[in-house]
Chains A and B, each alone.
Chain A
Amino acid sequence: MGFDWAFFFDRIVNPGAPYLNALVRTVTMAVLAMVLGLLIGLVVGFGRLSRYGVIRAACAFYVWLIRGIPVLVLLVMLFSGMAAAGLFRFSDIELLGLKLTASFQAAVIGLAIHEGAYMAEIVRNGVQAVALGQVEAARSLGMSSWQVTWRIVIPQATRVIVPPFGNDFNHMLKTTSLASVIGVQEIFLLTEAMSATTFKSFELLTVVALNYLVLTAIWNTIQGVIETRLRAHEIDRPVRTWWQSLVVYLSPTPGSAERRA
């Protein structure tokens, strides 16, 4: 039999509406989980630097606990485990005219809880990387704690946080495939369902692998643009427009033109 190239290319050119929907679902799930995970990470990460021991301990416990549990186990616990124990059962809801299935909600929340623990460590490192001297300088100018946090700490911590955040999102795009286990209709579940009827599983899996590859490649490009913009303080000129940044990012040695000048 061998690899059915015709079938393979047909799947790429004509993926069909159900598959495209699943692709949108994959991306939506990753983005929502990442946004929620970032919020959890900000709260827990700053919590780990709290002046109150109880808050520090609680946040450290969260990180320790969640990083010790496989995402797959977490997802099944949230969706099936809690329902089986009668603790909580996710149900389909409508939000702004969009139908969110029970399994989709569980997947987003589970992935966010998982991501939050990792983001917390990233946030904590970022905040600690901001030189204490700058915080003292800001305080000496009469800035309040909030002003110091929002104007000095967060903008600088962001530069440190963005690269590992990007790596986590890259990871998240692929980790969404685990949501297939609780029945989220994302691209991997659809691929498996099609494999069962067509028996061309290798071709279909190659297509889905390529899809993940394209998603992560697109994200890596976006991440590069963001990082270039955040490096503005290293060069004596205003922040570039996004397309200028893209050109610099895609050129062989990013930013070399400025350094020579």
Chain B
Amino acid sequence: MSGGARKPLVRALDVRKSFGETAVLRGVDLEVQRGEVLCIIGPSGSGKSTFLRCINQLETYQAGRIYIGDDLIGYRESGNRLLPLPSRQVVLQRRHIGMVFQQFNLFWHMTVLENIVEAPIRVLGQPLAQAREQAMRLLDRVGMTAKANAYPMKLSGGQQQRAAIARALAMNPELMLFDEPTSALDPETTGEVLAVISELASSGMTMIIVTHEMGFARQVADRVVLMEEGQIRHEAAPEQFFGDKAPARLKAFLSTIH
């Protein structure tokens, strides 16, 4: 936690990435302050998820810089060149960046509780008793105490996603990434997951949320950005973003959603 109070937690500078011939990220510039909740919206294929995945190095970016605090993610700088970090160090950088996936991705062979204590025990070396105690607190927070010993197969999508959020929180992340957390859910269970994310947002957690839920973005975000064709096209506080004075292009996109 070094640096001045106003220093952003996340700084992305001209981040670029291609899959073969296709340029997916064409220079993304973005800053996220500590405690800020940022929602990224945009059409599918615009690079939102890829950008999110670059932040914790599930994808590598090919040019530009992403900093979390003072750490350059995935690379070290040598003069003007970027040299990839050895995987050992990438693993260390990921520890405190939580991620929640569209498909929940709970470990299928473990109970909810085992899912949550796995990384704190294996990665952080926490004693079992401490990890369990923390897991039960987190399960209480996401309203899943009753399902602690259930296997994921027996849970609804909403329950699985709430467990997955608890699993990510168990690593005490300083940043949480949400990759379309409700896109795979029924309308009935979407609300319970959004409620958990809202509660987290109001607790001061720094979060980047890729979502198609405009009403949710409007309510929970401190700032909303529109991503299109691999670039940030518009950026504003939610009142302006969804307000009458928004640019025509943004209104056009929003009208395709509603």
Contact = CB atoms under 8 A, between A and B. Distances in A.
Interface of A: 131, 133-134, 136-145, 147, 151-152, 155-156, 159, 232-236
Contacts of B119: 138, 141-143
B62 interface: no
8 contacts: A136-B101, A138-B119, A139-B58, A140-B168, A141-B94, A142-B95, A142-B96, A143-B122
Contact of B58 (A136, A142, A235): A136
Contacts of A133: 101, 103, 105
Most buried by B among A134, A137, A144, A145: A137
Interface string B92-132: 10111111010101111110000000110011000000000
Contacts, number: 81
Given A140-B99, A143-B123, 6 more contacts: A134-B108, A140-B168, A142-B119, A144-B87, A147-B123, A234-B153
Interface residues of B, number: 34
Contacts of A136: 58, 101, 105
Nearest to A237: B149
Nearest to A234: B153
A37 to B, nearest CB: 25
B94 A139 contact: yes
A137 B107 contact: yes
A156 B115 CA distance: 14
Given A131-B105, A140-B58, A156-B109, A234 B87 contact: no
B154 interface: yes
B105 A137 contact: yes
B107 A138 contact: yes
Contacts of B105: 131, 133-134, 136-137
B146 to A, nearest CB: 11
A136 B87 CA distance: 14
Interface centre among A136, A139, A140, A159 (most CB of B within 10 A): A140
Contacts of B152: 233
Contacts of B153: 233-234
Nearest to B164: A137
A169 to B, nearest CB: 23
B221 interface: no
Contacts of B167: 137, 141
Nearest to B151: A233
B91 interface: yes
A233 B108 contact: yes
Given A136-B101, A137-B105, A155-B109, A144 B88 contact: yes
Closest 8 CB pairs of A and B: A142-B95, A137-B105, A141-B119, A133-B105, A140-B99, A233-B151, A142-B123, A142-B94
B231 interface: no
A144 B122 CA distance: 9
Contact of B154 (A142, A144, A236): A236
B150 interface: yes
Nearest to B102: A133
Contacts of A236: 149-151, 154
Nearest to A132: B105
Contacts of A235: 151
A239 to B, nearest CB: 11
A233 B109 CA distance: 6
Contacts of B103: 131, 133
A38 B6 CA distance: 57
A133 to B, nearest CB: 4
Contacts of A141: 94-95, 118-119, 123, 167-168, 171
A143 B88 CA distance: 10
Interface string B234-249: 0000000000000000
Nearest to B56: A140
Contacts of B149: 236
